[in-house]
C-alpha cells in the first residue's frame, strides 16, 4: 500500500463559517468536520481527455463571429503541487463576467450591458509541464448585495481537478493593484495575507503580445503529497 498522503491544508483556506459573507450564514455546517482518512477514493481522480475541450474553449474572444468588447488579455500559468511538481494534462475550467462586469446568466440582472459576443466560459487541459493558457477579455467589477455599496473586485473563476479527489480546487483569480480587494469579504475570508496574495495574478510583460493583448501570469498550487510512513525505509530488522 503506497498511496500518497496529501499534506494538511490547515490555515490555507477560508474558515467554514464566515458570516461577513452573508450567503455563508445559512449554508455553512455548524457541526465540526469529521476527519476522513485518505484512502483509494480520496487519492484518485477522474482523468479527462481532449474530448472535454471544444475548439474555441481556450480563446474566449473567438467563440462568436465577432469579437467581444473590452481589454484583450492572455491569462497563463502552471498547475503545480506544493513541492513544485507540475500537474500535467489536468482539466482547468474558467468562467467570468464580461468587460462591463455582467455575467451571461439568468440571475445576473444589474443594469450593465451584455455582450452578444462573449460567453464568459472556457476550458483547457494543462500540457506536459502543467501549463495552461487562455485568451479572454479583462472582466469588470460588479455590485452585489452583501452589504451597502458592495462591489466584487474583477476576477476569473477557476476550477481544477489535479490527480486526487483531495486536490480538487475551485477558486478565483484577481488582478494586481485592484482597490476593491481590501474591501471584499470573499477575498478577505482567506485567513493569511500570503494566501490572499497568492490569489492575485502578476502582470507579465514578457507574454504581453505587441499590438494585441496584455498578459497576466497566475500559478495554481495544489496540496502536495508526502511519503507514507511505509515508504521511509525503516521496515528492516536491526
Minimum distance, C-beta of residue 38 to another protein, in the bound complex (Å): 7
User: Is 114 near another protein (CB under 8 A)?
Assistant: no
User: Is 104 near another protein (CB under 8 A)?
Assistant: yes
User: Is 166 near another protein (CB under 8 A)?
Assistant: yes
Distance CA 218, CA 58 (A): 16
User: Is 18 near another protein (CB under 8 A)?
Assistant: yes
CA angle 195, 129, 202 (to 5 degrees): 40
Scan residues 125-164 and list those touching another protein (CB under 8 A): 157, 159
Are the CB atoms for 212 and 220 separated by under 8 Å?
no
Q: Is 147 a catalytic residue?
A: no
Cβ-Cβ contacts under 8 Å for 235 (sequence gap 6 or more)? none
Would you say how long the chain is, in residues? 238
Catalytic residue among 78, 102, 152, 163: 152
Q: Is 236 a catalytic residue?
A: no
Scan residues 38-57 and list those touching another protein (CB under 8 A): 38-42, 44-49, 52
Q: Is 157 a catalytic residue?
A: yes
Catalytic residue among 76, 102, 123, 155: 155
Q: Is 105 a catalytic residue?
A: no
User: Is 4 near another protein (CB under 8 A)?
Assistant: no
Q: Tell me the three state secondary structure of residue 223.
A: coil
Which window, 68-76, 101-109, 127-135, 229-237, contacts another protein (CB under 8 A)? 101-109
Scan residues 174-233 and list those touching another protein (CB under 8 A): 186-187, 189-190, 194-196, 198-199, 219-224
Distance CA 167, CA 42 (A): 9
Q: Which grid coordinates are listed for 200?
A: 492575485
What's the gap between Cα 238 and its chain centre? 49
Closest CA to 101 of 59, 153, 60, 146: 153
Which residue, 18 or 64, has its beta carbon nearer to another protein? 18
Q: Cell 475551485 sits at which residue?
A: 170
Minimum distance, C-beta of residue 9 to another protein, in the bound complex (Å): 6
| Residues designated catalytic | 103, 142, 152, 155, 157
Amino acid at each position: 500500500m503506497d498511496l500518497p498522503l496529501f499534506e494538511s491544508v490547515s490555515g490555507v483556506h477560508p474558515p467554514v463559517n464566515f458570516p461577513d459573507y452573508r450567503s455563508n450564514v445559512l449554508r455553512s455546517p455548524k457541526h465540526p468536520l469529521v476527519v476522513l482518512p485518505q484512502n483509494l477514493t480520496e487519492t484518485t481522480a477522474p482523468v479527462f481527455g481532449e474530448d472535454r475541450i471544444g475548439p474555441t474553449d481556450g480563446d474566449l474572444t473567438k467563440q462568436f463571429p465577432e469579437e467581444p468588447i473590452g481589454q484583450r488579455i492572455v491569462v497563463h500559468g502552471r498547475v503545480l503541487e506544493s513541492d513544485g511538481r507540475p500537474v500535467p494534462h489536468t482539466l482547468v475550467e474558467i468562467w467570468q463576467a464580461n468587460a462591463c462586469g455582467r455575467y451571461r446568466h439568468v440571475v445576473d440582472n444589474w443594469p450593465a450591458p451584455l455582450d452578444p459576443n462573449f460567453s464568459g466560459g472556457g476550458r483547457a487541459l494543462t500540457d506536459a509541464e502543467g501549463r495552461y493558457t487562455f485568451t479572454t477579455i479583462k472582466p469588470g467589477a460588479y455590485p452585489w448585495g452583501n452589504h451597502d455599496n458592495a462591489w466584487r473586485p474583477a476576477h476569473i473563476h477557476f476550477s481544477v481537478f489535479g490527480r486526487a479527489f483531495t486536490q480538487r480546487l475551485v477558486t478565483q483569480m484577481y488582478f494586481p493593484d485592484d482597490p476593491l480587494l481590501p474591501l471584499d469579504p470573499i477575498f478577505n475570508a482567506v485567513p493569511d495575507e500570503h494566501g490572499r496574495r497568492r490569489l492575485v495574478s502578476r502582470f507579465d510583460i514578457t507574454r504581453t503580445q505587441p499590438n494585441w493583448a496584455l498578459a497576466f501570469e497566475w500559478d495554481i498550487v495544489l496540496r502536495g503529497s508526502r511519503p507514507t510512513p511505509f515508504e521511509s525505509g525503516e521496515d528492516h530488522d536491526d
